[in-house]
């Protein structure tokens, strides 16, 4: 199963602090969460201007601790799987993001360091930007008006993936 995701985070060149994550599954299911553990005071001007205003109110159920977020995300990615149980590679989630290096670190750090990431979850995120470039940079629609909302960006990643695969396949014919 492919999962298209985006994270919003605070980073200072040394640490990445997850703010929110949005994930859209290939089957249409969606997941959105905001970490109640990030330190808003550490946010730079770009995050303050583009990310924080789009977060739901703190009373919204999307706000949760990193531990709860991690557990719910795992359940979303592997709904019929018991953590720690062996899972064949063909059934493991395939994660996709646009410029996903930081996204993958923010995702993986939900389990601590890389050694804590459950073995049934991927050690890398597949790169949508590279797929798009390899497909000949097909025309993409404008970003959504709520860009930098993690779920809106995850939904837009689905669009980028589909357009890129269509263009790539057309070029191969």
Known binding-site positions for Mg(2+)? 6
Closest by CA to 104, choosing from 23, 160, 26, is: 23
DSSP 39-77: -GGG--HHHHHHTGGGSPPTTSTTEE-HHHHHHHHHHHH
Residues making up the binding site: 6
**For 88-172, where are the alpha helices, taking DSSP H only?**
101-108, 128-134, 150-172
């Amino acid at each position: 199963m492919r999962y298209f995701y985006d994270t919003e985070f605070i980073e200072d060149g040394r640490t990445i602090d997850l703010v929110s994550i949005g994930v859209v599954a290939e089957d249409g299911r969606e997941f959105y969460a905001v970490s109640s553990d990030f330190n808003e005071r550490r946010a730079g001007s770009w995050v303050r201007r583009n990310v924080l205003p789009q977060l739901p109110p703190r009373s919204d159920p999307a706000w949760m601790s990193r531990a709860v977020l991690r557990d719910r995300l795992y359940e979303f990615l592997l709904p019929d799987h018991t953590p720690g149980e062996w899972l064949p590679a063909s059934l493991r989630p395939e994660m996709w993001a646009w410029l996903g290096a930081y996204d993958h670190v923010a995702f993986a750090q939900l389990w601590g360091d890389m050694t804590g990431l459950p073995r049934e979850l991927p050690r890398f995120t597949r790169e949508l930007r590279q797929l798009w470039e390899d497909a000949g940079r097909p025309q993409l629609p404008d970003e959504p008006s709520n860009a930098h909302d993690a779920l809106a960006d995850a939904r837009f990643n689905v669009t980028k993936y589909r357009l890129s695969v269509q263009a790539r396949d057309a070029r191969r014919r």
